Amino acid sequence: MATILRRSPNLARSSRQIVEAASLSQTLARRPASLPRPLYAYARSRKYATQPEGQKEDGKKLDKTPGAAPKGMEHLYSQQSPMSPGQPQPPNKQDGDDTPLPGRSKLSVQEEKALEDVFALVKKGMPSSMAEDIDKALQRIKREGMPTELRDTIKETREEGMSPARAAKLWRLTTQMARHTVESERKDTESEAPKQQTTEEPGPGTKKDDGKNKKKKTDEMFSGVTEIRFDLSNFLLSSFVAYLLYRLVVPTENSREITWQEFRNTFLDKGLVEKLVVINANRVRVHLHRDSVASMYPDSPAAHAGFYYYFSIGSVEAFERRVEEAQNQLEIPTSERIPISYHEEGSWFNTVLAFGPTLLFIGAIFYLSRRAASGAGGGQGGIFGMGRSRAKKFNHETDIKVKFSDVAGADEAKTEIMEFVSFLKEPGIYQKLGAKIPRGAILSGPPGTGKTLLAKATAGESGVPFFSVSGSEFVEMFVGVGPSRVRDLFANARKNTPCIIFIDEIDAIGKARAKQSFGGGNDERESTLNQILTEMDGFNTSDQVVVLAGTNRADVLDKALMRPGRFDRHIRIDPPTLDGRKQIFDVHLKKVVTHEDLEHLKGRLAALTPGFSGADIANCVNEAALVAAREGVESVKMIHFEKAIERVIGGLERKSMVITPDEKKTIAYHEAGHAICGWYFQWADPLLKVSIIPRGNALGYAQYLPGGGMDQALMNFNQMMDRMAMTLGGRVSEELHFPTVTSGASDDFNKVTRMATSMVTKWGMSPKIGYLYYPDAGETSETQLQKPFSEQTAQAIDAEVKRIVDEAYTQCRQLLTEKKKEVGLVAEELLAKEALSRDDLVRILGPRPWEDKGEFSRYFGGQGEGGPMGGAPKPTAPGPNGPEPGEGGGPGNLPPGLGRGSEEPAPTLYKSFEEMSRRW
Ligand SMILES: Nc1ncnc2c1ncn2[C@@H]1O[C@H](COP(=O)(O)OP(=O)(O)OP(=O)(O)O)[C@@H](O)[C@H]1O
């Protein structure tokens, strides 16, 4: 392409010359075409670059035996010395020898004149050294005669006029002649040089110098000429461009439009029309008797072959009628009437335009599929590489640096998965005992618990390639793409054994197949799943490909995936325990700068973050570092971590939110109601902080530590009742301190209702409903079209839920009426300070009347941490105002062992009900 680009100016110039030659048809009918200089130079340069020396243009070999030319006679010889012994007579001619060479004919005087004109044209603008060569070429043609081909072309041009093809041919032939001459000269020079060297002493002014100078001159002459490779495609392209330019510059060269009147008066009436051709039913081409035209109008272009006049017509019928009438008027006999023929011509431009979009489309498809095929290095690409797997391959040496030590907690999961590592490292141990190698494992658990991390660590430990892909990447809008990508993924994996394939979010494709499909909407997903099943079955026992899959919804997966021989293992990764959180904090705290006591920091942070996943913890640590950086401090402190935790739990503080003083007062009393309940109810979760600064969706909030910072698997009846009463504390406080209530407690009611409903329908805590379990809508996989209980049961459930909530309300109202003064104190302090820590509450209310247990007392037991959550002194005994254990509103008719005040743990297993921190 670069070659073509370099040549473009030359092409433009040469086409201009060709056009010039063709347009001068009158003159050039008697002259050969002009010789475009750049192409002439290019032809010579090519000769030097590719033609072996000693070979003549006609293919005859030259004898290279050196022979000395007679002194002073060198200029007479164009090739070798005729005096050299044993040398064949070269085909060169000497002056005075008028016999033309074979295949050539002597020039007439007119031809000589015409040639001189052509060469004079060619020399225009050339350097003098090149003009000299052109002269020599002319002399040679005069001496040796004109090649028959050149003569014929000149003759044709004279008779039929100039066309681009003839101009190009003339150029080629004349160039050839010029080139021969230059080459003969060069060979003479080269053959003379060694002779001079052997026969003469070198010295200034000798012939050798002349030869050298001549060669040097010739080299200099050609040094500025760019060497261009001349092949068929270049030739065709340049001819095409030249023709286009020619047609562009001289668009009306071959035809001219006339009117009917002109046609009639100038040609028809004078009997010059030979025939008429109707083209595409809208144009008529006029063919004239050229000889008659030439004699009548010698200057008219119509005298030359290939030139036509034409005129446009409205309809063929009208045209025929007009011609008929005109001929009738001219009284032309029927036998001599002008023949009319009809012709359909499609413009090539229109044709290209018509096919253009289709060609473009095909070209684009071809290009894209070629690019896709070359881009990803083969495989089952298909159209656009759609069917190729999108799995990312991680190189174990460069990309995967994760080790088991980076995965904190999750010890059971690690132990399970270790086996895969040892299988990949030492398969022989298993194979020799005849054990089948596990094919894969499903890692399930809530988001962010480290499933991907664990899979990566497995690859990192076993040192094998790791293909990671998400289940959703198999799903496309095109049918058949999913299975094809699965095939491609497994084919790639087999090429890279031993290796690990990790399919994240496998539930996107691995959901249980529908028993009956409505409209076949899931066919593509199902065939993708089937393909996975087939591929996993297709492994040999010796194939060291382990497939790990991650999901948050193991319960919805197809049973066929989980059967032995496919995903043999099911590894569950739960949110980390207190100890697990400590370890995860340990991993992530190493990445930030902190001068805190690490052991204490880890423990306190772990206690503050029950229910956090590994990803939450990583985010928290990073957030703390960002807070510290915003404050411009050197290291991350406890306060930054606590702010980060609050932010992760509650969302961003909305300090700019506009709240009226009345609203603020209501919020303060509402939050104070919650805080007082949390402080005085025995089974309530320990309070950490209360605030009326809006955060996230909440206008104010009280932060508690569920389970006292311990991992709590169970909740007993007393804890539930206290929690519900505490939740209603906001509304009760509003009722007690204001003439009216607000809408701010709606979220509280939602929580209370859900909790009470679960107690009745799931946890067997209502004597009226008994020990029954009624699933919620959507809890089971089958579509629940009707409630699983009768109308009477529904009414009984409603009544029981209401009864439990009412009891919690009574319990709360009783306490807050008693503690009305304390509520006022806390609310006023809140209005003044906006946020109160545990220390503030201790100061206002005295120590909490109930002992704090476990981690809470260890990390928040009054050491005065100084963070926003503060620390409370260790309570020793129930306070004077607090109810004694076992006191308070009784829950009424409760099953044995669940009564308020019972120190016994609840006898049944209950799921941990609420999130770790509640917002009000
Ligand atoms: N046990 C852990 N130890 C250390 N870091 C962890 C742990 N678990 C999670 N993380 C952190 O959380 C980030 C996200 O974890 P990962 O992507 O493995 O979660 P996942 O369970 O695959 O989540 P998802 O189900 O949403 O895909 C990890 O990059 C890591 O920083």
Express each pLDDT in 23-58 by its tens digit. Answer: 333 333 333 333 333 333 333 333 333 333 444 444
Place of tokens 């003469």: 200
Instruction: Name all domains of the chain by residue range, CATH numbers in brackets.
Output: 2-59+74-81+91-246 (no CATH), 254-345 (3.40.1690.20), 396-514+524-572 (3.40.50.300), 578-649 (1.10.8.60), 660-860 (1.20.58.760)
User: What gap in Å lies between CA 12 and CA 862, rounded to an integer?
Assistant: 94
Best mean pLDDT range from 88-92, 241-245, 648-652, 860-864:
648-652
Residue 447 CA to ligand 1 center (angstroms) comes to 8
A 10 A CB-CB count for 876 gives 9
225-248 mean pLDDT: 59
532 has a pLDDT exceeding 90: no
Contacts of range 783-790, beta carbons closer than 8 Å, 24 or more positions apart: none
Question: Is the distance from CB of 745 to CB of 612 less than 8 angstroms?
Answer: no
Strand partners, 196: none
User: What gap in Å lies between CA 126 and CA 37, rounded to an integer?
Assistant: 8
Give, for ligand 1, the residue of 452, 470, 553, 584 to mutate: max count of ligand atoms closer than 8 Å to Cβ.
452
- How much is the pLDDT for 69? 40
- Cis status, amide bond into 576, omega within 30 of 0: no
638 has a pLDDT exceeding 80: yes
Among protein residues, the one with the nearest Cα to ligand 1's atom 26 is 447
Residue with more model confidence, 357 or 506: 506
Q: Three-state DSSP class for 332?
A: coil
What is the DSSP secondary-structure string of 244-308? Answer: HHHHHHSTTSSEEE--HHHIIIIIITTT-EEEEEEETTTEEEEEE-HHHHHHH-TT-GGGSTT-E
- How much is the pLDDT for 853? 65
Report, as residue numbers or ranges, the catalytic residues. 671
- How much is the pLDDT for 888? 32
898 has a pLDDT exceeding 80: no
For residue 850, CA distances in Å to 120, 571, 711, 845, 880 come to 121, 40, 20, 13, 11
Residue 605 CA to ligand 1 center (angstroms) comes to 18
Residue type, 676: I
- How much is the pLDDT for 695? 83
- How much is the pLDDT for 858? 66
Residue 98 CA to ligand 1 center (angstroms) comes to 100
User: What gap in Å lies between CA 532 and CA 560, rounded to an integer?
Assistant: 11
Among protein residues, the one with the nearest Cα to ligand 1's atom 4 is 407
Residue 183 CA to ligand 1 center (angstroms) comes to 80
Enter the ipTM.
0.97
Q: Which ligand 1 atom is the nearest neighbour of the CA of 587? A: 4
Work out the burial of residue 793: count CB atoms within 10 Å of its CB; fewer than 13 is exposed, 13-18 middle, 19 or more buried: middle
900 has a pLDDT exceeding 60: no
Give, for ligand 1, the residue of 407, 449, 466 to mutate: max count of ligand atoms closer than 8 Å to Cβ.
449
- How much is the pLDDT for 809? 96
Structure tokens at 364: 């684009």
User: What gap in Å lies between CA 666 and CA 674, rounded to an integer?
Assistant: 13
- How much is the pLDDT for 150? 73
Percent of the chain with pLDDT over 70: 62
Question: Is the distance from CB of 285 to CB of 277 less than 8 angstroms?
Answer: yes
- How much is the pLDDT for 123? 62
- How much is the pLDDT for 622? 92
542 has a pLDDT exceeding 60: yes
Among protein residues, the one with the nearest Cα to ligand 1's atom 17 is 452
Comparing 6-15, 450-459, 492-501, the range with the smallest average pLDDT is: 6-15
Q: Which ligand 1 atom is the nearest neighbour of the CA of 453? A: 18
Q: Which ligand 1 atom is the nearest neighbour of the CA of 576? A: 1
Q: pTM value?
A: 0.53
Residue 453 CA to ligand 1 center (angstroms) comes to 5
Question: Is the distance from CB of 721 to CB of 913 less than 8 angstroms?
Answer: no
* Helix, strand, coil share (%) of the chain residues, nearest 5: 50, 10, 40
Spatial neighbors of 890 by CB under 8 A, at least 6 apart, are: 899, 900
Among protein residues, the one with the nearest Cα to ligand 1's atom 12 is 615
- How much is the pLDDT for 387? 59
528 has a pLDDT exceeding 80: yes
Q: Encode pLDDT of 591-607 as tens digits.
A: 899 888 888 888 888 88
Question: Is the distance from CB of 79 to CB of 90 less than 8 angstroms?
Answer: yes
Residue 407 CA to ligand 1 center (angstroms) comes to 8
The distance from CA 118 to its chain's CA centroid, rounded to whole angstroms, is: 60
95-117 mean pLDDT: 64
The full 3-state SS of 509-573, as one line of letters, equals HHECCCCCCCCCCCHHHHHHHHHHHHHHHHCCCCCCEEEEEEECCHHHECHHHHCCCCCCEEEEC
Among protein residues, the one with the nearest Cα to ligand 1's atom 16 is 450
Residue with more model confidence, 168 or 816: 816
Residue with more model confidence, 498 or 540: 498
Among protein residues, the one with the nearest Cα to ligand 1's atom 5 is 614
Q: Treating both helix axes as pointing N-terminal to C-terminal, what angle do 37-50 and 207-223 enclose, rounded to 10 degrees?
A: 120
User: What gap in Å lies between CA 891 and CA 899, rounded to an integer?
Assistant: 7
The distance from CA 41 to its chain's CA centroid, rounded to whole angstroms, is: 49
Residue 399 pLDDT grade (very low, low, confident, very high; cuts 50, 70, 90): low
661-672 mean pLDDT: 92
Strand partners, 790: none
237-258 mean pLDDT: 66
For residue 492, CA distances in Å to 384, 496, 501 come to 19, 7, 10
317 has a pLDDT exceeding 80: yes
220 has a pLDDT exceeding 80: no
349-373 mean pLDDT: 76
Tell me the pLDDT of the chain averaged across its residues. 71
Pocket of ligand 1 (CB under 6 A): 407-410, 447-453, 504, 550, 552, 584, 587, 614-615, 618
Residue with more model confidence, 848 or 91: 848
What is the DSSP secondary-structure string of 370-401? Answer: HHHHHHTTSSS--GGGTTS--PEEE-TTTT--
User: What gap in Å lies between CA 824 and CA 819, rounded to an integer?
Assistant: 9
Comparing 24-38, 66-80, 233-247, 686-700, the range with the smallest average pLDDT is: 24-38
